[in-house]
Amino acid sequence: MAPFHWALISPDSKTETTRSASAARTVSGRTSNRVILMMTVSTCKTNRVQPPEGAPQSCTFRYGSVRANSGRRLSNGPRGFLLSIVFLSTAMSAQTKVPFKVIHTFGASGDGIGPSSGLISDNRGNLYGTTLGGGTNNTGIVYQLTPQRDGSWAENVLYSFGAVGSGGGDNPDGGLLMDASGNLYGVTELGGTNDRGTAFELTPGSGGWVETTLYNFCSLPNCADGGAPSYAPVLGAAGDLFGTTFGHQAVLYELSPSVSGWTETALYTFCSQPQCTDGDFPNGVIRDAAGNLYGSAKKGGSQGDGVIFTLREKPGGGWAYIILHNFNTIDPAQFPDAIVLHDGALYGNTTGCGASSCGTIFKLSRSGRHAQETDLYVFSNPIDGATPQGALAFDRFGRMFGATGDGGSGCGVGCGLIFEMTPSPGGKWQYQVVHSFNGDDGELPQYGVITDSAGHVFGTTLGGGAPYYGGVVFEISPPQLTAK
């Protein structure tokens, strides 16, 4: 195996949140786990449905949304959980009181419904994201939130998808990427020429934002170029885009610009080995300063419980696909979700649920020419969260923040929560709950969080949020510490 070369650039992630089991599509023998969000919502009401065949199962299902987040389903409440050993961590069950506020609630007329991604920010503190539904044509929007002098935030809908005759995509998923010029890039999992999703660009102008379809997926026979992209791409050094597709044919692709348009190249096709030992159901990718790509696959690998992989450019051309770690049923960590790079190591979460736990926070570090996986925290008590999802984020004090889509003290069965992990001597981490959602202030925080230079934590919830219950954007202001 080639030696590791990890250096932080910018993380991107996405958990598998989908939309209505009845609308699932089957293409090339694989069932798409992405359908349109049905927002017949009552606060914290549980509506359990089966995920698409072949997709990893989730712990809970609400609002008719299907999440392909690996693991067994939880019982309806804390039953079925037994305390288990927590590795390299100490837990504080009591919730830490920190300032929390909802800065935007989705679901009003013309607004988006069901924020389908985490957030990105620009150098002026504006936030950007996507929703699966809502907007002018009820097929999703791209939005901007701008901070105001009085502490409130103003939403600006930059683009509504699904205009008749546009030929563009529908249902943007997985978030956005912003380049140095302020252009936004993203993907839709449906719509486009082949109704298998698109890659798009939004360019600001004097008359508003202009959408350009860069590529229509499933343009090759048998969808050899991939279909149903579900994660925002990452930017390459030459202005190219790298990303993954989740359904139909799962690939890791490169989109390259030229004077004649954009060209797509499938750099790697997942499940191309017997029994999918190379991984299947990939999440999004991240990129380091050397141009290496890293990612995770929810299933497959030597044990079938997911993998961490890297894709590296060969000196003579082409790319080398390398498995860094295989998850297994013996370890509590199964079915990885998002990963991030921090201080030369990969950090991430797993969503698999067993008899005594439901998800982990892990670290993958370099050990000579090999990778060593360490469980930093095991979710063994639902009041402290379950099924951690989306990107983790570090602040300047070295604290790690993240989200669990389930568990917590709200909504009876748990509406999810935000947690903080603080490094302690000896490599241990102290875990504490920062905020438990109660439905009125949001539910299902599935897409992780981001932090800004001032130490604020921002994120989204797929559902909840009075008075419309179409999801929220929230802000948390943890206490400031002495910087590392």
Q: Please tell me the predicted confidence (pLDDT) of residue 94.
A: 53
Which one-letter DSSP state was computed for residue 428? -
Helix, strand or coil, per DSSP, at residue 325: strand
At 319 the pLDDT is 96
462 near 470, Cβ under 8 Å? no
Do 385 and 379 contact (CB within 8 A), yes or no?
yes
Q: For the whole model, what pTM was predicted?
A: 0.82
DSSP SS3 for 383: helix
Q: What angle do CA 32, 37, 38 make, to 5 degrees?
A: 125
Dist CA 473 CA 108 (whole Å): 14
CB atoms within 10 A of CB 237: 9
CA-closest candidate to residue 10, choices 457, 451, 454: 451
Per-residue pLDDT of the chain (484 residues; tens, 9 = 90+): 333 333 323 333 333 333 222 222 222 222 333 322 333 322 222 222 233 344 444 333 232 232 333 322 222 222 222 222 233 444 444 566 689 999 999 999 999 999 999 999 999 999 999 999 999 999 999 999 999 999 999 999 999 998 877 778 999 999 999 999 999 999 999 999 999 999 999 999 888 999 999 999 999 999 999 999 999 999 999 999 999 998 668 999 999 999 889 999 999 999 999 999 999 999 999 999 999 999 999 999 999 999 999 999 999 889 999 999 999 877 777 899 999 999 999 999 999 988 889 999 999 998 767 889 999 999 999 999 999 999 999 999 999 999 999 999 988 778 999 999 999 988 899 999 999 999 999 999 999 999 999 999 999 999 999 999 999 999 999 887 655 5
The reported pLDDT for the residue numbered 195 is 93
* Contact by Cβ (8 Å): 421, 376: yes
pLDDT at 27: 25
Question: Are residues 417 and 474 in contact, defined by beta-carbon separation less than 8 angstroms?
Answer: no
The predicted structure's pLDDT at residue 481: 64
CA distance linking residue 213 with residue 199, whole number of Å: 6
The β-bridge relationship of strands 307-313 and 319-326 is: antiparallel
Position 48 scores a pLDDT of 25
State the CATH class of domain 21-82+128-395: mainly beta
Here the contacts of 250-253 (C-beta below 8 Å, separation 24 or greater) are 250/226, 250/280, 250/281, 250/282, 251/224, 251/225, 251/226, 252/282, 252/285, 252/293, 252/295, 252/311, 253/225, 253/226
DSSP state of 478: P
Taking alpha carbons only, the member of 183, 112, 99 closest to residue 141 is 112
